[in-house]
A and B are shown apart, each in its own frame.
Chain A
């Protein structure tokens, strides 16, 4: 394979867990809920996916189990913040810390155990196309699904009625409530979807990308996903681009080191995605840009129906 194509394929792999987690968080945030527990949900998804795959011998059970585990973590968060109206920031941080501990507990018997790698499923004919074939049509099921989910989320938010309601809830919960929409119900659904996607992102790491379980193997990807949502200005296609950009910077700096061409210390490039996010945050706090950046107006605000 051409080294450039190989590099692009590697970037897609590096970006996929970010893409899953960030897409899920994006939907939750568009409904007005800030869930900082992404890292914890990813870890619990990763360990559950691995444990079920290792126990049953098939990733076809492990992947749905990971999605379910992420959803359950999100349910815990939703009950605390939406029903009991706990502070979202504190609860999200607690969810991450809880997830680190819980995943270590579940995974303690699975360290050092291998599972078979998720097979790649080249799509007939299409995968033989030069350049585009290996880049788009020669992956495992979780990578294909990440493409599909991006398109689905983008369509859902922009074109569907339910997506419109979800955005309305995130922009003005009182008005949506006044129109008769169940604000809390919509937010529950959005948060649970966020957990499901984080669980899948975790499973991609533990079942497909590096099929193993070691504690805290997500290594901060949940936090990068949170930054990515801001970087992408809460838009699904930009999350896709941002995820590949963040993944690309990592791979680029590793490649450049290998070629001996890196002009600056590797740490400088490692921090570029975060610098970019800070830049976006700074710009987004400047008046004229605020509206265009499209942060949900009710983000992080608890909602209690007045009547």
Chain B
């Protein structure tokens, strides 16, 4: 909602001129203003869309205790700083900056507005008024990797990658490791499209992989285009960020769903209550920040049961997505038996496990 400061002051002044009383009570109830900064269009049906769904969940849950505003399509750079400063200067008490590249602008503005709380997604620097939060999407990839290995007749999955940052590398490795627990010879063929947001090219990549005989695909790009291709060809894939079954009712086996709503509601409520404190959290399936869409009709009961088992194992800690032994592409042992990759190394991950062709 667009409500400027001048407008607010004007209304308050008019109110007090007529009767002094209402102005004071309006002030006491004034809602917490919450700002959201999105890197993409909220209509991307992927990353930014899921943050906006969470914003609406905050409005729904907290009603007139909050007033939300968002700015979409904010480039990661100097513009971001202007946008964040503008939000802070116009009375937002809490600002979510929802992309890794907003880190430095967020920190800079946060320093100048110590009373405003900031929540930065996927970053790694906290200050007294900047908290960071991230989701363990790779846990979802362990589940779909298990399913892919059980359902592929060829023992190969195609994987459409956006850009090779640790977040994406982590997903490819988790997917492949989980698949190899089912079929030790399982391979993952990665095709990079060098974009997060180009449905045509994502479809091209899916077609190229299927043309080469791959019978199942996963993707780490934003659109449902690869799933549409799978649907047309009677083959299978997995949704990304949101449940995309509307685009591939048969073809989507399940989807990894980003679920920011519960976290946003909790943290917003904490600011209202005055109990908000900074933290650095990395939530996953256990906390519900990562969830899986309902299984599609093509998933046989034994695959669904195996997927559920992996999910339950990750939640209770008995299944380690990055449990050793892990070899890299060259066959060298990178993680010993009984060990796992610590979070710090995971966030910098830049190598592929054996069986990945990238």
Contact = CB atoms under 8 A, between A and B. Distances in A.
B197 A219 contact: yes
B205 interface: yes
Contact of A214 (B190, B223, B232): B223
Interface residues of A, number: 41
Nearest to B202: A210
Interface stretch (A104-112, A229-237, A281-289): A104-112
A205 B208 CA distance: 18
A117 B246 CA distance: 13
Interface in B200-254: 200-205, 207-209, 211-214, 222-225, 228, 232, 242, 246-247
B45 A111 contact: yes
Interface residues of B, number: 41
Interface stretch (A2-10, A88-96, A129-137): A2-10
A270 B204 CA distance: 13
Interface in A1-43: 1, 3, 6-7, 10, 13-14, 17
B212 A3 contact: yes
Contact of A215 (B44, B189, B211): B44
B204 A10 contact: yes
Nearest to B225: A210
B198 interface: yes
Interface string A209-252: 11111111111110000000000000000000000000000110
Nearest to B208: A254
Contact of B212 (A117, A209, A255): A255
A113 interface: yes
B199 A212 contact: yes
Nearest to A271: B194
A267 interface: yes
Contacts of A218: 200
Contacts of A217: 198-200, 223
B309 to A, nearest CB: 31
A56 interface: no
A112 B193 CA distance: 22
Contacts of A210: 199-200, 202-203, 223, 225, 228
Contacts of A259: 212
A114 B243 CA distance: 13
A255 B199 CA distance: 17
A257 interface: yes
B209 A215 contact: no
Contacts of A111: 43-45, 49
26 contacts: A10-B204, A108-B43, A111-B49, A112-B242, A114-B246, A114-B247, A209-B203, A210-B223, A211-B228, A212-B223, A214-B45, A214-B46, A217-B199, A217-B223, A218-B200, A219-B195, A219-B197, A219-B198, A221-B200, A254-B205, A257-B192, A258-B189, A258-B191, A258-B212, A258-B214, A260-B357
Given A10-B204, A10-B208, A266-B192, 13 more contacts: A6-B211, A10-B207, A10-B211, A107-B43, A111-B45, A112-B45, A209-B200, A212-B225, A219-B197, A250-B204, A258-B212, A258-B214, A270-B194
A-B pairs with lowest CB-CB distance, top 10: A215-B41, A219-B198, A254-B208, A6-B211, A111-B43, A210-B199, A210-B225, A215-B43, A257-B191, A10-B207
